């Protein structure tokens, strides 16, 4: 560091109009990740309120070779928004960049600043009679910039795609302090490389996203939801194919839930109860949606579920009678991570395999867990419609927490090796952050990894952007 810290802090403070947190007490809420895996220290926490301020901060940090850690809602699962332990990195919180700059219903688009909370963007779309489909359990606190930088998924990917597919343009502060202003509202634009895509899923390692032009869709006016007990995961995949065919692509969510998740949420989360009368091994939460208020979605759902019941694909099912039932189904689904946390330690694997291989993956990997992790219980749930499973293993009742967690790496290695055998991904939607840097090195195709390093060197030659996240060894 070439400038003395006090002088440097003054310069940073002057860029952000004094919004700089320097005391340990002020910084404390920013320094631990959501899962409490990492506890960092920071030079300071800067709270800019405009894209220009963000760009100026980066220009200064680049000149002084100071590592920068962007932070959105801090709900990420891989420690990407937490500084390291050196106390030398500047944390930049995007929370004050929270303006919706424009809503354009006729163009079906909206421009939001990076610090907008996802739920606020959904609300702004709704007020314009439109729909913004990204939907996550953390939507009350995660931010658009974080969603873009992790390429977030969630419960509507099946129908609308991941965050990457919901973006028309970006505004990004580059590591050298230039502002890339590319807030395009165009659906068609074949003018060379798709530069914006580099920043989607980059987890703050190439620049700081300051605003985005996002796609909107027709507002949802009819919804039908069901909670169904399936014979097994294979039956779930078969049912999904039939639903998609019979409902003409109105399926917006298809979530697989194991029995243990129903038990854990019923036990630990007030207000959650099993929607069915008797226990079953596997369930799916299904949602059909339409922009047409009079679309007979309940009928479509019944027409698919009834034959599946008589053929034995399904063991039982209940269709939501009203919004309250629907909210109850979703509460069960969305609180699985919290129920797991309250129940004890858990080892998490955010993996994906081709949809058609989900059942055989669960069988093989589940058998491995049963044979090798006697002190753990499998809670494999998630966005089955996208082939994405949160293949989590919870500490069994009475098991020794420390001994269970100590085997985490060995267990992860076995699960991820199996994922590779199934042509899957070791990070379906949560990213790499700090947590999976080694796993990326192990499993990414070597040429792909080399290209990632090339891009990193080209955009951030001094390696100031989120050092040690996604890729290591920069500069
Ligand atoms: C209850 C719960 C449910 C969840 N469900 C899902 C789910 O269904 N699907 C899913 O994909 N994820 C899910 N997540 C994970 C998390 O919410 C997402 O990864 C989310 O996109 C992170 O957004 P954030 O604003 O909290 O980002 P942060 O955690 O603050 O940051 C995440 C990464 O992005 C970088 N970053 C943040 N803002 C910017 C910016 N403006 N420019 C550049 N880099 C930036 C950070 O440096 C970090 O590397 C869930 C989390 C919780 C707690």
Domain stop point among 336, 358, 392 = 336
Q: How far is the CA of 152 from the centre of ligand 1 (A)?
A: 7
Domain stop point among 302, 336, 370 = 336
Return all residues near 272 (Cβ < 8 A) that are at least 6 apart.
Answer: 265, 266, 328, 331, 332, 335, 339
Gap between the Cα atoms of 93 and 295, Å rounded: 44
CB of 75 closer than 6 angstroms to any ligand 1 atom: yes
Nearest atom within ligand 1 for CA of residue 77: 15
Q: How far is the CA of 146 from the centre of ligand 1 (A)?
A: 5
- CATH number of the CATH domain containing 9: 3.30.43.10
For 365, the enclosing helix (H) or strand (E) is helix 358-372
CB of 136 closer than 6 angstroms to any ligand 1 atom: yes
Tokens of 258: 């194991």
Q: Select from 335, 468, 473, 346 the least CA-distant residue to 412.
A: 346
In which residue are the tokens 């620049």 written? 207
Is residue 429 a part of any domain in this protein?
Answer: no
Report the residue count for the chain: 475
Is residue 426 a part of any domain in this protein?
Answer: no
Nearest atom within ligand 1 for CA of residue 337: 1
Q: What is the pLDDT of residue 249?
A: 87
Q: How far is the CA of 242 from the centre of ligand 1 (A)?
A: 33
CB of 77 closer than 6 angstroms to any ligand 1 atom: yes
Could you list the residue range(s) of the whole structural domain that residue 373 is in? Answer: 344-421
- Select from 76, 115, 459 the residue to mutate for testing ligand 1; criterion: most ligand atoms less than 8 Å from CB: 76
Q: What is the pLDDT of residue 1?
A: 46
Q: CA-CA distances (angstroms) from residue 206 to 80, 115, 126?
A: 13, 18, 32
The answer to whether 144 touches 113, Cβ cutoff 8 Å, is yes
pLDDT along the chain (475 residues), means of 10: 76 98 96 95 98 98 98 97 97 98 98 98 98 95 98 94 98 98 96 97 98 98 97 96 91 97 97 97 97 95 96 97 97 95 94 95 97 96 93 96 95 97 96 97 97 98 98 92
Domain stop point among 421, 438, 469 = 421
Is residue 462 a part of any domain in this protein?
Answer: no
Nearest atom within ligand 1 for CA of residue 466: 47
Gap between the Cα atoms of 157 and 300, Å rounded: 21
DSSP string for residues in 31-42 = SB-TTS--B---
CB of 89 closer than 6 angstroms to any ligand 1 atom: no
Same domain? For 122 and 89 the reply is no
pTM of the model: 0.95
- CA-based torsion, 273, 277, 283, 288: positive or negative: negative
Q: How far is the CA of 74 from the centre of ligand 1 (A)?
A: 6
In terms of phi and psi (left: phi > 0; alpha: psi -120 to 50; beta: otherwise), the region of 344 is left
Q: Select from 262, 419, 426 the least CA-distant residue to 340.
A: 262
Gap between the Cα atoms of 44 and 15, Å rounded: 13
Q: What is the pLDDT of residue 57?
A: 98
The answer to whether 232 touches 258, Cβ cutoff 8 Å, is no
Return all residues near 322 (Cβ < 8 A) that are at least 6 apart.
Answer: none
| Eight-class DSSP state of 273 | -
CB of 469 closer than 6 angstroms to any ligand 1 atom: yes
């Amino acid at each position: 560091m070439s400038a003395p810290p006090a002088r440097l802090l003054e310069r940073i403070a002057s860029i952000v109009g004094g919004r700089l947190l320097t005391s340990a007490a002020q910084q404390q809420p920013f320094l631990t990740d959501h899962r409490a895996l990492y506890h960092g220290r920071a030079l300071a926490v800067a709270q800019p309120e405009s894209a220009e301020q963000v760009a100026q901060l980066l220009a200064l940090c680049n000149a002084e070779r100071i590592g920068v850690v962007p932070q959105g809602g801090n709900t990420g699962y891989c420690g990407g928004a937490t500084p390291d332990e050196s106390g030398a990195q500047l944390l930049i919180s995007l929370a004050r960049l929270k303006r919706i700059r424009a809503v354009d219903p006729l163009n079906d688009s909206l421009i939001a600043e990076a610090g907008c909370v996802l739920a606020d963007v959904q609300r702004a779309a709704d007020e314009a009679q439109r729909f913004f489909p990204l939907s996550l359990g953390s939507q009350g606190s995660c931010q658009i910039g974080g969603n873009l930088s992790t390429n977030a998924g969630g419960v509507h990917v099946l129908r609308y795609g991941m965050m990457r597919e919901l973006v028309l343009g970006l505004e990004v502060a580059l590591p050298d302090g230039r502002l890339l202003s590319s807030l395009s509202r165009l659906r068609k634009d074949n003018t060379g490389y798709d530069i914006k895509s580099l920043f989607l899923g980059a987890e703050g390692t190439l620049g700081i996203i300051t605003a985005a032009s996002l796609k909107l869709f027709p507002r949802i006016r009819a919804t039908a939801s069901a909670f169904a007990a399936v014979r097994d995961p294979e039956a779930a995949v078969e049912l999904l194919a039939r639903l998609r065919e019979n409902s003409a692509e109105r399926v917006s969510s298809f979530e697989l839930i194991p029995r243990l998740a129903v038990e854990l949420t019923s036990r630990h989360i007030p207000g959650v109860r099993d929607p069915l009368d008797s226990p079953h091994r596997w369930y799916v939460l299904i949602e059909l949606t339409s922009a047409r208020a009079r679309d007979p979605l309940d009928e479509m759902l019944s027409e698919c579920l009834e034959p599946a019941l008589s053929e034995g694909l399904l063991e039982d099912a209940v269709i939501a009678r009203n919004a309250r039932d629907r909210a109850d189904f979703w509460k069960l689904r969305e609180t699985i991570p919290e129920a797991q946390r309250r129940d004890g330690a858990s080892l998490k694997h955010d993996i994906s395999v081709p949809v058609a291989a989900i059942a055989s993956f669960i069988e093989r990997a589940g058998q491995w867990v049963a044979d090798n992790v006697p002190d753990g219980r499998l809670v494999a749930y998630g966005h089955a419609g996208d082939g994405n499973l949160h293949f989590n293993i919870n500490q069994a009742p009475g098991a020794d927490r420390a001994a269970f967690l100590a085997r985490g790496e060995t267990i992860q290695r076995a699960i991820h090796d199996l994922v590779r055998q199934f042509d899957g991904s070791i990070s379906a939607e949560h990213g790499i952050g700090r947590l999976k840097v080694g796993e990326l090195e192990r499993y990414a195709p070597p040429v792909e990894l080399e290209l990632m390093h090339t891009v990193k060197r080209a955009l951030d030659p001094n390696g100031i952007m989120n050092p040690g996240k996604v890729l290591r060894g920069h500069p």
